[in-house]
Amino acid sequence: MKGFFQLISSDEFLSLLDRFDPLATEQVATAEGLGRVLAGDIVSPEQLPPFSRSTMDGYAVRARDTFGCSESEPALLTVIGEIAMGSPGRALALQPGRTARIWTGGELPEKGDAVVMVEYSHQLDGQTVEIFRPVAPGENVIRAGEDFEAGGTVLARGSRLRPQDLGVLSGLGITTIKVFRQPRVAIISTGDELVPPEEQPGPGQIRDINSTTLAALVREAGGVPTCHGIVGDDLAAMQATCDRALARSDMVLLSGGSSVGRRDFTLQVLEGIEGGEVLAHGVAVRPGKPTILARAGNRALFGLPGHVASAMVVFYLFVRPLIRRFSGCGADPGLVRIRAITDQPIPSAIGREEYVRVALTRTADGEPVATPVYGRSGLLRPLVQADGLLVIGRDVEGLDAGVAAPVLLLP
């Protein structure tokens, strides 16, 4: 039935994304893994650190040799040598009453179980050192395997890799990793009025804004965008471009169609995909109501609103979660959510979630304050001024000034 909207909630929309599976996996060098998502648990192939290490400069000791010593009654230990960095400390064995000079990160000698900081020692001569403070066994030492035991899980499948994770992998000698492939996302702008950004628009024409914006949003979300240009309001041409894009992509974003007539076009294109199925047509959020989601196998097609401001909101709410799901993460927007205080009443209607673009400032004591940046839906300036999206639930009729509300921070 043409133009019929069966509005679903944003939660229902998100649950549809579970019908898509994470993409295939591939091997990448750990050093190139920033932001990628692990396709399997990482199990430590060995213990880390590989040996018991000093965390201080000082003297490796048998802790009991220092028990009871003090500033006035120092323990006297015989220095049997120095453990040079990178040399095998275990080659030395500490007999009772003996000690060895050690540096931060150095390997403890055999039988050594603690390190006395150099600040609490005084070397009397080449052979003898006074110790002024007792140490407990294990003090100033990281024991072998204390960080990661061999066979233990270091990072779980689905972890998005951060710099420190890559560091740990390097420390364990894991120089290649299995990650999910990055989703390839095709972007198609539709509309007879559109010209590419590098062209001078004629009367009644306007430059395509959505392709550039969506490509950057995709890249930022961890996908690999490909722009398939502008297609006029011609069903056959749209269908052909969409088929071509789908053949090379995991996801197709069709944008345009703010008018009812053109929305029908987009719907017809998505309904006409071979082996395809329209999963959703209309979602109870504002902006973003006319969003369409279709699938063809494990590939997804989105019909996005034509206004870039609305398309961006739909991207953050629904497209980004699917990019993340394809990438192996949870199907959520992956945006930082904070709480901010409204500085004015914000109207909204019952029955739909509202996402209000807001600029954020802070009170003197650091509390975030949200100011709506209003503007008609076709305007760009509010987007440039916005720091986040303030969320108003579907059962709420507007917010008063001075109340706390959740805000999704734009990346």
Residue 4, interface with a second copy (CB under 8 A)? no
Stretch that binds a second copy, among 10-18, 64-72, 331-339, 395-403 (CB under 8 A): 331-339
**Buried (b) or exposed (e) across 235-261, using 16+ Cβ within 10 A?**
eeebbebbeebbeebbbbbbbbbbeee
Residue 352, interface with a second copy (CB under 8 A)? no
Residue 349, interface with a second copy (CB under 8 A)? no
Which of 7, 9, 40, 50 is close enough to bind a second copy by CB under 8 A? 50
Q: To the nearest whole angstrom, how small is the minimum distance from the Cβ of residue 244 to a second copy?
A: 21
Q: To the nearest whole angstrom, how small is the minimum distance from the Cβ of residue 151 to a second copy?
A: 15
Residue 40, interface with a second copy (CB under 8 A)? no
Residue 393, interface with a second copy (CB under 8 A)? no
Residue 27, interface with a second copy (CB under 8 A)? no
Strands 184-190, 224-231: pairing kind: parallel
Q: To the nearest whole angstrom, how small is the minimum distance from the Cβ of residue 70 to a second copy?
A: 24
Q: To the nearest whole angstrom, how small is the minimum distance from the Cβ of residue 218 to a second copy?
A: 9
Backbone angles phi, psi at 67, to 5 degrees: -55, 130
In the complex with a second copy, the residue whose CB is nearer, 155 or 294, is: 155
Residue 401, interface with a second copy (CB under 8 A)? no
Q: Which of residues 174-213 bind a second copy (CB under 8 A)?
A: 174-175, 191-194, 197-213
Residue 264, interface with a second copy (CB under 8 A)? no
Which of 28, 144, 338, 373 is close enough to bind a second copy by CB under 8 A? 338
Q: To the nearest whole angstrom, how small is the minimum distance from the Cβ of residue 304 to a second copy?
A: 13
Q: To the nearest whole angstrom, how small is the minimum distance from the Cβ of residue 277 to a second copy?
A: 28
Compute the distance between CA of residue 13 and CA of residue 7 in angstroms, rounded to an integer.
10
In the complex with a second copy, the residue whose CB is nearer, 147 or 343, is: 147
Residue 271, interface with a second copy (CB under 8 A)? no
Q: How far is CA 343 from the centre of its chain?
A: 30
Over the window 143 to 162, marking each residue x when it contacts a second copy by CB under 8 A and - when it does not, the resulting string is ---xxx-----xx------x
The count of residues interacting with a second copy (CB under 8 A) is 101
Compute the distance between CA of residue 265 and CA of residue 238 in angstroms, rounded to an integer.
9
CA distances from 122 to 76, 103, 131, 328 (A): 10, 16, 7, 57
Q: To the nearest whole angstrom, how small is the minimum distance from the Cβ of residue 140 to a second copy?
A: 9
Compute the distance between CA of residue 365 and CA of residue 109 in angstroms, rounded to an integer.
52
Which of 2, 384, 395, 400 is close enough to bind a second copy by CB under 8 A? 384
Residue 269, interface with a second copy (CB under 8 A)? no
If we measure between CA atoms, which residue out of 10, 45, 1, 2 comes closest to residue 291?
Answer: 10
DSSP state string for 133-170: S---TTTTEEPTTSSB-TTSEEE-TTPBP-HHHHHHHH
Residue 252, interface with a second copy (CB under 8 A)? no
Q: How far is CA 251 from the centre of its chain?
A: 20
**Which residues sit opposite 78 in a β-bridge?**
98, 128
Q: Which of residues 353-382 bind a second copy (CB under 8 A)?
A: 366-367, 376-381
Compute the distance between CA of residue 20 and CA of residue 331 in angstroms, rounded to an integer.
10
Amino acid at 213: T
Q: To the nearest whole angstrom, how small is the minimum distance from the Cβ of residue 84 to a second copy?
A: 7
| H/E stretch holding 324 | helix 320-327
Q: To the nearest whole angstrom, how small is the minimum distance from the Cβ of residue 323 to a second copy?
A: 13
Which of 19, 122, 219, 248 is close enough to bind a second copy by CB under 8 A? 219
Total Cβ atoms within 10 A of residue 179: 25
Q: Which of residues 110-139 bind a second copy (CB under 8 A)?
A: 118
Residue 332, interface with a second copy (CB under 8 A)? no
Backbone angles phi, psi at 96, to 5 degrees: -50, 140
DSSP-derived letter for residue 410 is P
Q: Which of residues 75-94 bind a second copy (CB under 8 A)?
A: 83-91
Contacts for 247 with CB less than 8 Å, ≥ 6 apart: none
